Chain A
């Protein structure tokens, strides 16, 4: 059965057996949530008191695990020679589960309070400097989840979100999560990657327990171009799921949510835009709707068959020039024509090259009063 994009996330938050069960559980869940919120306060205070104390990290992550009801099982052996772990993405608490058992940090675009970030084992992706991290804390591996966003683990998304080039050796990790007794989705497809999914976190507070299984797979070494594919395959095999050709962006786009955030153009339009940056996107999309072909669209714009108003290009000054007057150059005589045949073009190019050198030569001789002009 083909796995389509919409099967990779769960729409229903609560897909339990019936609503009655959920309603019966609700008071219990709310009570649990209250207790957990108190625990979260304890966690906050503890993190202030124990800030930067040795051993604090483990205590804090344990407290955070209690708060969110995260229980972690580890399978396999951690390869200490690998400082980069690559795993699939199942929920916003993946980083907590991993930091609790493996002491890793994960890179996220979320803006969360610092204490919360350190308890969950996350670091702001924008502030992460690889060299600095490994020189300060070489023992802390970095967990990368290049899928870009959480799925329900029915298929593995394409890897796209690499914050930095990975080295030659990584340890793949397969993460799976289940919630005993209740059947609550652990994540919701997000439309904002920069915001911590507070709603997901609230569901974590309400459910009795979420059991994570972290399966450490044998480390892989880069030996050919298929390195990334090998990592993906290893994770997919460990989870017994298939690898899909979908990306996180497609997943979001299918849900009709991403447009407002990134307004990512369709891939065909993006390809035309890459070739012709000056053509406005809406003209490209309009033309693509007509032609349904990237190549035909490009040709039509290039040949001037479709009018468009060129977009002002972002000005990139090569270098700030100083107060000097702009330097003057020898201008090669523009031919004003662009011959149709390759042969003619080549001839014209050769001619112009020779002409340019000859002109420059004469000019130089004239300027410096050399008397070798006669020699040639």
Chain B
């Protein structure tokens, strides 16, 4: 029993070190339009990230806050990511959870729908997740419908989708919705 506890602690220890290394990297050398770090360093396993809506897309200009929760065995298992602002996107659930392949461990998908190359593995990183999320905002994948309504609107009524996106962008910046 004691052995198990120490194994778990050791695991959390290496998770902490790795997270600290990534935090340092992200602070000193941030990718464009992204910042991320622990909300409160007393709990290094919960991070907040701000993601800028990619230019030339309907989410342009918005600053979207998201929460990342890391498991104790990170980086063996992927973190969970959830937007904490209102979102309307084919690959984001109504509660803000993000559905992209990099956040799934290779064993998670019994259907073999996602190729394991783009899945989570310890060589991935917070930075790569966040960059994937930026690409996801720019180019939704309407085949995996985390939000079916959004996927349908993205396909069939792009104008309406863009309107909703603009409202969300303004909301993240604390600006009133367009008239």
Contacts and interface: CB of A to CB of B under 8 A. Distances in A.
Interface string A343-366: 001101100110011001101110
Contacts of B175: 361, 364-365, 370, 372
A356 to B, nearest CB: 6
A109 interface: no
A353 to B, nearest CB: 6
B27 A356 contact: no
A210 to B, nearest CB: 36
A165 B28 contact: no
B84 interface: no
A276 to B, nearest CB: 7
Contacts of A316: 102, 117-118, 123-124, 128
Contacts of B112: 129
Nearest to A162: B107
Contacts of A335: 27
Interface in A314-351: 314, 316, 318-319, 321-322, 324-325, 327-332, 334-338, 342, 345-346, 348-349
A120 to B, nearest CB: 26
Contacts of B54: 327, 329
Contact of B76 (A274, A334, A357): A274
A165 B107 contact: yes
A318 B27 contact: no
A364 B102 contact: no
Interface in A154-194: 164-165
A236 interface: no
B-side binding surface: helix, strand, loop or mixed? mixed
A292 interface: no
B14 A329 contact: no
B158 interface: no
Given A364-B61, A365-B175, A332 B30 contact: yes
A308 B55 CA distance: 37
A360 B173 contact: yes
B18 A276 contact: yes
B55 A329 contact: yes
A331 B27 CA distance: 12
Interface in B161-179: 169-170, 172-176
A374 interface: no
A275 B138 CA distance: 30
A224 interface: no
Nearest to B61: A364
A213 B110 CA distance: 34
Interface stretch (A37-45, A254-262, A294-302): A294-302
A367 interface: yes
Given A318-B131, A365-B175, A295 B13 contact: yes
Interface string A275-287: 1110000000000
A113 B169 CA distance: 60
Contacts of A129: 112
Interface centre among A319, A338, A367 (most CB of B within 10 A): A319
A318 B50 CA distance: 18
Contact of A364 (B30, B134, B169): B169
Interface string B41-62: 1000000101010111100011
B29 interface: yes
Contacts of B141: 319
B35 interface: yes
A318 B55 contact: no
Given A276-B18, A276-B21, A346-B40, A353 B35 contact: yes
A313 interface: yes
A165 B107 CA distance: 8
Interface of B: 10, 13-14, 17-18, 20-21, 23-24, 27-30, 32-35, 37-38, 40-41, 48, 50, 52, 54-57, 61-63, 75-76, 102, 107, 110, 112, 117-118, 122-124, 128, 131-132, 134-136, 138-139, 141, 169-170, 172-176
Give 4 closest A-B pairs by Cβ, nearest first: A329-B33, A318-B132, A329-B32, A327-B54
